[in-house]
Structure 1
Amino acid sequence: MSIRKAVLPVAGLGTRVLPASKVVPKELLPLVDKPTLQYIVEEAVAAGIDEIIFVTSASKRSIEDHFDIFKELEQALERKGKRKELEELRRIRTMATYASVRQPEALGLGHAVLCAKKLVGDEPFVVMLGDDLVDPATPCLPRMIEIHEQYGGSVLSLFSVPEHEISRFGIVAVEETEPGSTTVKVNHMVEKPAVEEAPSDLAVAGRYVLTPDIFEILERTPAGAGGEIQLTDAIEVQAQEGRCYGLKFGGFGGIRYDTGTPLGLLTTSIAYALKRSDIAPALREYMRQALTEG
């Protein structure tokens, strides 16, 4: 079965980027002139996804609005002859089908995914986290979907982290599927372990291909620390049953950006600006001057 749906959990409060995220959802903070979340939706669409499911909260209505029609603005652009801007707005709202569901309480990533159960139905799907961006030139989702089609299980995007960051991530124990392959079998997962308890230095990035039985597992997964239902705990059940694989994304040549902190948001914006032919020359000149004067 082809994968058609992507679940984007966007109900979080974004406390790491306050006060910018007090009124504007962190997912709509811009990278150059485009909201972070739009890059993620475009990544999904490029991988063949045609239905986007937002798991939102009461304070995130503007996310739905961004991907909806804004007649007054479109009419104003048409009157002014701004065809390029008009076409971009229309592209955003038509490049996929959008649906949303509320997460009534902040009960963890696993709970957020579970909220999308009725909209996903009985089919494999993708989960994409809003803090993680993947360079469009080196996408990982198409390869992850291929791995799912080959082995039939869930698939995680994995990357190596330095020792001092291990306790920030879900860490996995893996075995090779074949020598030298970037595809591995995931045997065990631990959520934010201490360094001495970590089974490896391979962390789960914000991309998942999940089989629909994950919902049944989540429904019987008890809440952990902080009263949250962890997606990691449910995937661990699949791993123990031999139904979980991973793509070592770093080895696949991919570039990952973390926009979950002020520094990460700033450096990612600079990286994306440097890819733009209309912005990069002036930005490089500004950076040279700033570094010289500094």
Structure 2
Amino acid sequence: MRKVKYAVLPVAGFGTRMLPLSKSVPKELLPLGNRPAIHYVVEEAIAAGIKHIVLVGHAQKSAIENYFDINAELDNQLRHKGKEALADSLNWLPEDVSISVIRQGTALGLGHAVLAARPIIGAHDFAVLLPDVVLDPFSGDMSADNLAFMIDAFATDGHSQILVETVADEDVHKYGIAQLSEDHSATSDMEDQAEANASFSVAGFVEKPNLADAPSRLAVVGRYVFSHHIFDYLANTTASVGGEIQLTDAIDALISEHGVSVTTMRGDSYDAGDMRSYMQAFIYFAEQQLAQGQ
């Protein structure tokens, strides 16, 4: 069974949608309640069985690396003051989980960021989690279950998995939309999935279509489980829209030779890289934590 143990988190972006908040603080470290957004994403990965996390970063975002490191001086100060529990809570990564950092260099898009992790990932299959997409951690185990389901589905049939959720008609134009294979051309059943994850083969994706041209209402969420073969396609993908190497172009090539499936999401997701959505998410996370006495 091909169990995925590696995950890539692209963190090199400047977060222009979050200015001026992100001018000096990386958007991934902006708080949702009492923890930074990326904290929840890493917790999600660990809960799904990931053991090695690769941060694809930028020279000006070393604060993210520092967040996951041990601050020896702070740790000593807290323990000297008898605040053992607080010190322990800051060093929360399990001992069997490691974090590596690699620089993207020139920012040439999401596909390029994923490819930058190849020297560390090598021939291992891996997950990709976009750190500005945070799945609701207060809905039981559903946030971690999504990724765990994708990893198990990948282990079963060898098809790379992409998480999708049903969006409202008026929001279809904001997302990459899944076009299911002929075996699943009727999408109503899977669009209504709520109680359990489901995996369906996909024929491709349409980027930000008008509603009339959309093949479904199933939008890409920001969680992927890839065969290592995606690296070969990324390496041979030429820059397209915006002069960037698009991950979707490599996915289309992967579909034609190895097959790709979409997994329907359980629970809710929050876009922590958009100001309006971020503010709504902050209030929700803070309310949940206060209610739980955190």
TM over 0.5: yes
Whether 2:99 is the aligned partner of 1:98: answer yes
Distance 1:153 1:246 in 2: 9
CA–CA distance in structure 1, aligned partners of residues 292 and 241 of structure 2: 48
User: Could you tell me whether the CA contact under 8 Å between 1:7 and 1:116 is conserved in 2?
Assistant: yes
Separation of aligned partners in 2, 1:69 and 1:150: 38
Q: Distance in 1 between matches of 2:103 and 2:220?
A: 25
SS in 1 for 2:60: coil
Larger deviation, residues 172-181 vs 142-151: 172-181
Query: Would you say 1:205 and 2:221 are equivalent positions?
Result: yes
Any gaps of 5 or more consecutive residues in structure 1?
283-294
Q: Check the 8 A contact 1:187/1:242 in 2, yes or no.
A: no
AA paired with 1:50? K
1:70 aligns with 2:71: yes
The C-alpha deviation readout for 1:176-223, integer Å capped at 9, x for no partner, is 579956211111112223333322211111100000010000111111
Deviates more, 1:226-235 or 1:165-174: 165-174
C-alpha deviations, 1:209-242, integer Å up to 9, x for none?
A: 0000100001111111110111011111122335
Among the aligned pairs, what percent are the same residue? 41
Question: In structure 2, what residue type is equivalent to 1:261?
Answer: D
Equivalent residue letter for 1:123: H
Q: Does 1:280 align with 2:281?
A: no
Q: Which residue of 1 aligns with 2:47?
A: 46
Equivalent position SS for 1:72: helix
Aligned residue number for residue 158 of structure 2:
152
The alignment partner of 1:112 has SS state of helix
After alignment, is 77-86 or 157-166 more displaced?
A: 157-166
SS at structure 2 position matched to 1:13:
coil
Structure 1 residue 94 displacement after superposition:
4.3
Partner residue, 2:262: 246
Q: CA RMSD in A?
A: 2.0
Structure 1 CA distance, aligned partners of 2:210 and 2:253?
Answer: 21
Aligned to 1:193: 209
The TM-score normalised by the length of structure 1 is 0.89
How many matched pairs? Answer: 277
Q: Give secondary structure in 1 for the equivalent of 2:50.
A: coil
Which of 47-56 and 88-97 deviates more? 88-97
Higher mean alpha-carbon deviation, 58-67 vs 263-272, is at 263-272
1:263 partnered with 2:264: no
Instruction: Find the aligned partners of 1:255 and 1:157 in 2 and give their Cα distance.
Output: 12
1:97-136 deviation digits (Å, cap 9, x = unpaired): 0101111112110000000011111121000001211123
For 1:2, what is the secondary structure of its paired residue?
A: coil
* Structure 1 residue 56 corresponds to structure 2 residue 57: yes
| CA spacing shift, 1:281–1:64, aligned 2, 3 Å | closer
Specify which structure has the bigger relative contact order, considering alpha-carbon pairs within 8 angstroms and separated by 6 or more residues. Answer: 2
Deviation at 1:85, TM superposition (A): 1.1
1:184 aligned onto 2:200: yes
Look up the match of 2:250.
234
Q: Distance in 1 between matches of 2:129 and 2:116?
A: 15
Matches of residues 8-157 of structure 1 in structure 2 within 5 Å?
Answer: 8-92=9-93, 94=95, 96-136=97-137, 137=140, 138-139=142-143, 140-157=146-163
CA displacement at 1:95 relative to structure 2: 6.4
